[in-house]
Structure formats: C-alpha cells, structure tokens
Amino acid sequence: MCPGARTLLDVAGGRGPSAAPGDGSPQSLPSVGDRQQGHPAPQSPAPQQSPGPTARNQAPQQQVPHGPAQRPAPQSPVQQPPAQQAAAPSAGFPPQAGAAPAGAGAQSADADGVIPWKPPAADDPFFAAAQAAQGHPAGLGRRLAARLIDTLVLGALTAAVAVPMWSTVTDHLDAKVEAAKQSGRQMTVYLIDGTTIPVFATILAVLLIGGALYEALPTLKWGRTLGKKLCGVRVLDIESHDTPTLGAALRRWFVYSVLGVLVVGVLNVVWCVFDQPWRQCWHDKLARTFVASG
C-alpha cells in the first residue's frame, strides 16, 4: 500500500500522526523557585498523540504552569466583640472596678456570695439626737451630781480602811498633849511624827490607788463611773470623741486627786464654769478630755 493511502486510513480510523518530539507541542520547563529551594525539577510529561477531529473541535483546556507550591496566607485571629471578650468573674470574687459583669441585668450583686454594703435607709431621729448630744459638753448640774456620787463612793471605801487606823493616831496625839500638860511648860505638839506618818501615808495610798481603780479603769472601759452613769454623762477624748486611753484616764484622776489634797481642787472644779467651749477643768485640759452627755 502506498504511503498516502495509509495516512488517509489512519485519519479515517481516528488515529492521527504521532507527535514527534521536535514538533511545536508545548513542554513544561523547570521553575526557578524550585531550583532555588532545592526541590527537584518536575519531569516533563510524556508526549501525547494529537487528538482526533472530534477532540480538535473541543475547547482547549487551560494549562496550569508548574511552579512553587503556594502557601496559604496566615489568617488573622477573629476578634470577638467586647461583650464576648469580657470573661465572667470567678466564683467568690467581685468584678473588677470599671468592668461590668456579664448578664448584669439578670444576676444580682450577691450571686457570688458577697453582700454589698448599704447605707442606712433612714436616719433614726433618736440616734441622731444622741450623736449630736455626745459631741457637746454635758450640763454643769449633771456633772456636779455625778462628782458628788463618785466622791461619796470613794470616801466610803477610804473610810473603811482609815477608821480602824485612825484610833491609833488619836491615841498617840492624846498622849502627847497629856505629856505636855504634865510638864508644866509651853510645848508645841506636832500632828505629824514618826507614828502618824505611816497611818497618813496608808490612807493617802488607799485614796489614790483606790480612786485610780474606781475612776481610771471604768473611764478607760466605758468612759464613765457609777456616778456618771447614773447622771447620764461620760468622759471622751477631745479629738477622737472616743473613750480616753489608759494614760489619759490615769493622768486625769491623779491631777484631780492631788489638786484636791492640796486644797486647790475647789478652783479646779469651778474652772469649768468659765471655760469655753468644752467646759473643761484643769484635769480635763491636761488629759485632753471633756465631759459629754450620754
């Protein structure tokens, strides 16, 4: 058979002439990126036979060039709205200042077991009057009555110790006077000597120490003695308006008692009548206290 007739038979049977390597069919070339990154160059596909007449009429497919594999772009983190970003507070801890808790409209403040402080709904008029009276000096009549009661109580305690000892003093003084009369000479009889000094010292110690126990300790604890409680007055610190310290209570009592022994106590007590605005006596000024109502 002649060569021309064989070609016609091949075309009619759907076989085309095999594409030679030297024809104009496109070939893929190795990519420069693969060569730089160390990847082996892709092998060129085997040559294919030319399509038949039916395949020629179809639309040619788009060839994707072989290149370096494209990496997916990094995805940015999805930002949540501020309402979702605010985490709910831990159980047992109140929310931080400035941050509104999640679901504040549905949950109360005591859901975590914390009870918020609430101011008093209404002021008690009696409590307000008591507070107002506590910051002002007490009346002089009630103060005088309280001092008289305390003096009687302390005097009774001192007399309980002094009366049995006083007979020793009187017997000693009577013996000295009788001896002076029998001598027939004019003599001076002294009340204070080696026999009477211990008795007087004991009575003074009972007055000061007993008074400290009766005056200073109740004043430190409650701000009042028995007489002040009965008369509705109390001793307060002039700055804090609280019960005085132990040092202030002791200083207040000892100054009052020593001035009373030196017969200057009358002026000390009368001083509160003219003092302004706290109506303080001398022992109150040295102890930085005042006598208030309540």
- Check pLDDT > 70 for residue 85: no
3-class SS string, 134-162: HCCECCHHHHHHHHHHHHHHHHHHHHHHH
Q: How far is CA 178 from CA 184, 191, 255, in A?
A: 10, 14, 40
Q: In the predicted model, what is the mean pLDDT of residues 126-144?
A: 76
- 181, amino acid identity: K
| pLDDT range class, residue 188, cuts 50, 70, 90 | confident
- Check pLDDT > 70 for residue 196: yes
| pLDDT range class, residue 79, cuts 50, 70, 90 | low
Q: In the predicted model, what is the mean pLDDT of residues 207-218?
A: 93
Q: Is 243 helix (H, G, I), strand (E, B) or coil?
A: coil
| pLDDT range class, residue 181, cuts 50, 70, 90 | confident
Q: In the predicted model, what is the mean pLDDT of residues 63-76?
A: 50
| pLDDT range class, residue 118, cuts 50, 70, 90 | low
Q: In the predicted model, what is the mean pLDDT of residues 181-208?
A: 88
Give the model confidence (pLDDT) of 217-258 as tens digits: 999 999 999 999 999 999 999 999 999 999 999 999 999 999
- Check pLDDT > 70 for residue 158: yes
Q: In the predicted model, what is the mean pLDDT of residues 183-201?
A: 87
What pLDDT, on the 0 to 100 scale, is given for residue 19? 42
* Predicted model pTM: 0.54
Could you count the other beta carbons within 10 Å of the beta carbon of residue 293?
A: 18
